[in-house]
Chain A
Amino acid sequence: MTPTGCLAVVPALTHNTLVVAAGVAAVGCAAGVVGSLSLLRKRPLIGDAAAHSTLVGVATAFVLTGRRDLPTLLTGALVAAVAGLATLVLVRRFTRTRDDAATAIVIGVGFGLGIALLSGITARGLPGSAGLEQFLLGHTAALTARDAVVLGIVSVATVTVVLLGLKEATLVAFDADFAAATGWPVGLIDQALVTLVAVRVVVGLPAAGAVRVTALVVSPPVAARQWTDRVPTLLVLGGVFGLVAAVAGVAVSAVVPRMPTGPLVVLSAAAICIVSLVIAPRRGWLARRRQRIAFEPPRS
């Protein structure tokens, strides 16, 4: 993964930049793969609900343990993300509230609780609480080599799980009724997918922050969908686009002074997405327009 050769070419690429690049690339790649699955299941925004719930976990983990190393805080974030998604399921199950409103409630209230806890911690000046709000927007430059390794391992693990269960996930995403009728535990498979999304979001936190990690899960899969009609290709392209966006973002922020990495990664992903939406063969805007012109008689 380490493009050592680049070191000589671009002097701005320091050791730290490379570490960050490797970590963010792993995160971006895995986010694209998992995001493709949740796009197929037609739930692209469950990641957003998970992401906005994570702050509660970060704050709670810090208060409970008094530690602020990445694994501790991310474990807290994961618990909170899963709890947020579980709330979503409960609201759907036991109330008349519609799906979109339920998602918005989890996003708004989860984030509000997180902000309230973080602000309370900061106001009390607890030792070591200074940098916690970096999870809000991400603070890529603060990644250490150890953090990058953790992120890489978790990313590889999630991608492996996806590849292992691809057959089951595709079946449930395409036709849940048929899957249930043939004996597959649809609820269990859905829960596994939701957990994967939660893991993805949590791993993306240090790089992109709670607010923008959604972009990593949504944009690359949407871009990939424009280019292919097959699930395996979709996953590969989603992963590649996520990786390219991550690396491009890190590279630009290394070259241009004072540019934050997180937003640049998101913008790179968006650029790939926009280009794909316009020029992709058959599904792209240009291709559709050409088809329409070919079919419609010219208006006089």
Chain B
Amino acid sequence: MPTPTRQSRLPGRLPQEADVADAGSSAPPVVEFHDVTVAYGGRPVLWNVDLTIAEPCLFGIIGPNGAGKSTLLKSALGLVPLVHGTARFWGRPLAEVRGRVGYVPQRETVDWDFPVSVTDVVLMGTYGRLGWFRRPGSRERSLARECLDRVGLIDVADRQIGRLSGGQQQRVFLARALAQEADVYFLDEPMAGVDARSQEQIFGVLAGLRSEGRLVVVVHHDLRTAAAWFDRVALIDMRLVATGPTAEVLTPDNLRRTYAGQVDLLQEIGQAVAARGRTP
């Protein structure tokens, strides 16, 4: 792994503490993917990813469409079965630390015509802590209001979720994750189809989480904003191409390897794996 160095700072960025990965601390890394391979229908879509995020920071997962970025996120959350490999948090399996892991899925994965209000959705973030059959009480309600306030949606708290703009819907999901009161957040394309103002607002909330000492992992597709927003990034294209501090990783060479990479080779081998046969 390349030795991390201090990166150039863009003006106007919030101060950040967590740029040094191996500062010699003995604490286990916050998130550790060990040789993770994921297959859909027997065909590998993500090959042998070894990725360690040692300390809290704003971490971007960058790559082209269909590169397996969301799949990597889902593999950490146990939403897709691993062919092999493990994903661990603070050196422990997910099941032991579920309450400390927050998740913002892609906006398109749910039906926004569903008959729930903005507050109802945010309250869902507290369900994990509540457990079976207990209803959210006044503590949960005030927490939900706080979270809505933080993303600037307190005015639409009682609206049905379908009557919001795309950026507002994304912020509802963010508020729901905030209500999880987690230490690690995984966000799947939170900036997709979101207006510039909402993007700034969402980024502001994420930077706030980082400054509270939480790890924020974001799947992102826009290279221009990625350079400005993330402390560290991983370039993914069916395999891990490079990872480290943003400025070091986003080099022309790495980007060429990511965006014009070896995918056809991996896809051919993947087909052979799915068919339990051989490539030509």
Contact = CB atoms under 8 A, between A and B. Distances in A.
Judged by CB atoms under 8 Å, the answer to whether A and B touch is yes
Interface residues of A, number: 25
Nearest to B77: A181
Contacts of B128: 182-184
Interface in B96-140: 98-99, 101, 103, 105, 109-111, 114-117, 120-121, 124, 127-128, 130, 132-136
Interface in A203-252: 225, 228-231, 233-234
Contacts of A181: 77-79, 101, 103, 105
Contacts of A184: 127-128
Interface string B144-175: 00000000000000001000000000000000
A167 B135 contact: yes
Given A167-B133, A167-B135, A178 B124 contact: yes
B37 interface: no
In terms of DSSP, what is the predominant structure of the interface of chain A? helix
B180 interface: yes
A40 B120 CA distance: 15
B153 to A, nearest CB: 17
Contact of B110 (A164, A170, A174, A225): A174
Nearest to B136: A167
A143 B81 CA distance: 51
Interface string A159-175: 00000110110110111
A42 interface: yes
Contact of A229 (B77, B79, B111, B115): B115
B109 A175 contact: yes
Interface residues of B, number: 31
| Most B CB within 10 A of own CB, among A171, A174, A178 | A178
A99 interface: no
Interface string A171-199: 10111011011111000000000000000
Nearest to B76: A181
B135 A229 contact: no
A190 B258 CA distance: 40
B126 to A, nearest CB: 10
B111 A42 contact: yes
A230 B103 contact: no
Nearest to B114: A174
B115 A178 contact: no
A233 B115 CA distance: 9
Contact of A174 (B95, B98, B124): B124
B180 A230 contact: no
Contacts of B135: 167
Given A171-B124, A178-B103, A178-B105, 17 more contacts: A40-B114, A42-B111, A167-B135, A168-B132, A174-B116, A175-B110, A175-B124, A177-B103, A177-B105, A177-B109, A180-B79, A182-B127, A182-B180, A229-B117, A229-B160, A230-B115, A233-B115
19 contacts: A40-B114, A42-B111, A167-B135, A167-B136, A168-B133, A170-B120, A174-B110, A174-B124, A175-B109, A175-B124, A177-B109, A178-B176, A180-B78, A181-B77, A182-B98, A182-B180, A183-B95, A183-B128, A231-B116
